[in-house]
Amino acid sequence: MQQTTQNAENIALFAGLAADWWNPEGSSRLLHRINPTRLGFIRDSLVHHFGLDPRKRRALEGLSALDIGCGAGLVTEPLARMGADTQGLDAGADLIEAARAHAAAQQLPIRYTAADITDFAPAHKGRFDIVTCLEVVEHVADIPAFLAALASLLKPGGLLIFSTPNRTPLSWAVLIAGAEKITRMIPDGGHDWHKFLTPDELTRYLAEAGLKVETLKGLNWSPAKGFHISDDVSITYIGTAVRV
């Protein structure tokens, strides 16, 4: 398979961690901890955008969702449990195998595909109400090509939810020095700070792809609140963009 948009070394690194991905105390534990906060943002954004019933158990029933860079399914499975007709896409074949095995064991009807997005997109144009792309663009080699393919997957009026680290001295200190090297909360060598995008840069790239940013918030941690959504985007940010 050709890797036009994904960085090949990165795929290999994360694929090697596939077996450990679902271990809440393993190499992906930071993602496990951060997950309820991300999912809360995702649900609230979708409820607001599509005018859904916030009290409903399966609020996303009737909507179709694609999780891009799904890994072993940490966000894909919740989307399916929230009621969306859900697919997961990742370039790492080992990760997709882990994702399929886990979803089967959890009895979740999720379709997973191991492919590069540029190969996947042509056959799935305008197919999805929801696309999620969390902690992915920082690993992408050709951002315009990646986002063009991503935008083509959404229905007009469909919503993209993205999150990625900012490129600031603070994000280097926290994510690279702190989380990768010292506390090993995230896999060492998995991130290149120079490739991180600022919110302004990403907003421009998204606009070029026909995606209009609607909300942009910071994802932060404090001793009192744990992980939470705030207006401070200096480390990592999460937002929504609508396909115009």
- Cα 162 → chain centroid: 6
- DSSP H helices, the chain, are 8-16, 29-50, 76-81, 93-105, 117-120, 143-153, 169-171, 199-208
Please list every residue from 74 through 93 that binds another protein, using CB under 8 A: 77-82
User: Is 116 among the annotated ligand-binding positions?
Assistant: no
Counting Cβ atoms within 10 Å, is residue 215 exposed (0-12), middle (13-18) or buried (19+)?
middle
Q: What are the residues facing 140 on neighbouring strands? A: 6
Q: What are the residues facing 161 on neighbouring strands? A: 132, 240
The reply to whether 98 sits near another protein by the rule CB under 8 A is no
Please list every residue from 42 through 81 that binds another protein, using CB under 8 A: 43, 56-57, 59, 77-81
The reply to whether 40 sits near another protein by the rule CB under 8 A is yes
User: Is 192 among the annotated ligand-binding positions?
Assistant: no
Q: Residue 78 or 218: which CB sits closer to another protein?
A: 78
Range in contact with another protein (rule: CB under 8 A) among 35-43, 90-98, 123-131, 163-171? 35-43
* Rounded to 5°, angle at Cα 237 from 79 and 9: 80
User: Is 38 among the annotated ligand-binding positions?
Assistant: yes
Least distance in Å: CB of 54 to another protein?
8
Q: Which residues are annotated as a binding site?
A: 38, 69, 90, 134
The footprint of another protein (CB under 8 A) covers: 24, 32-33, 35-36, 39-40, 43, 56-57, 59, 77-82, 102, 104-107
